[in-house]
Amino acid sequence: NKRVKGLIVSRPIYYGNIATPITGKKPANPDHTHRWTVMVKGLNNEDLSYYIRKVVFKLHETYPNPLRSIEQPPFELTETGWGEFEIMIKIHFQPITSEKPVTLYHHLRLHPFEDDLQGQPWPKDKPVLSLLYDELVFNEPTEAFREVLVKN
């Protein structure tokens, strides 16, 4: 498991959430106002499973089983709820990478920051999107991981 001295490799990711108000069919819990999906994505929906093994989302303790492990792409989780909170996102890499997990934090956003540019109220059925771009940086990857990276 030799590491490649001096090499730094990065991979782009998007992480965050989309949320829509629940209209029509009521959710199981009548207090829930929004349906949301939290996700870790590659560029252009690239499949990230060549180096990501699983993503664990840690939800607010008001949720049953707040630790949700997603072990196949797409690495995303859909839930319903009424409130915003911080989601801990822990990315676990494939064993071949010999990389330690990386933890990110995302503020789950259900409500728009402000009304839209024309001063109009945000349309009730328009999804709210809070997606951040980031780069996973691998400092001196192993030779095995470098092989995987150059092939993808």
113 vs 120, which CB is nearer to ligand SLL? 113
CB of 83 to ligand SLL, least distance (A): 3
83 vs 101, which CB is nearer to ligand SLL? 83
CB of 32 to ligand SLL, least distance (A): 6
To the nearest 5 percent, what fractions of the chain are helix, strand and coil? 10, 45, 45
| Sheet bearing 75-81, strands edge to edge | 75-81, 34-41, 8-21, 128-139
Binding site for ligand SLL (CB under 6 A): 29, 60, 62-63, 81-85
CB of 15 to ligand SLL, least distance (A): 19
- Rounded alpha-carbon distances, angstroms, from residue 63 to 4, 30, 57, 79: 43, 14, 12, 10
Half-sphere exposure of 76 (CA within 13 A, CB side): 18
63 vs 122, which CB is nearer to ligand SLL? 63
CB of 61 to ligand SLL, least distance (A): 8
50 vs 85, which CB is nearer to ligand SLL? 85
Contact 1, 98 (CB under 8 A): yes
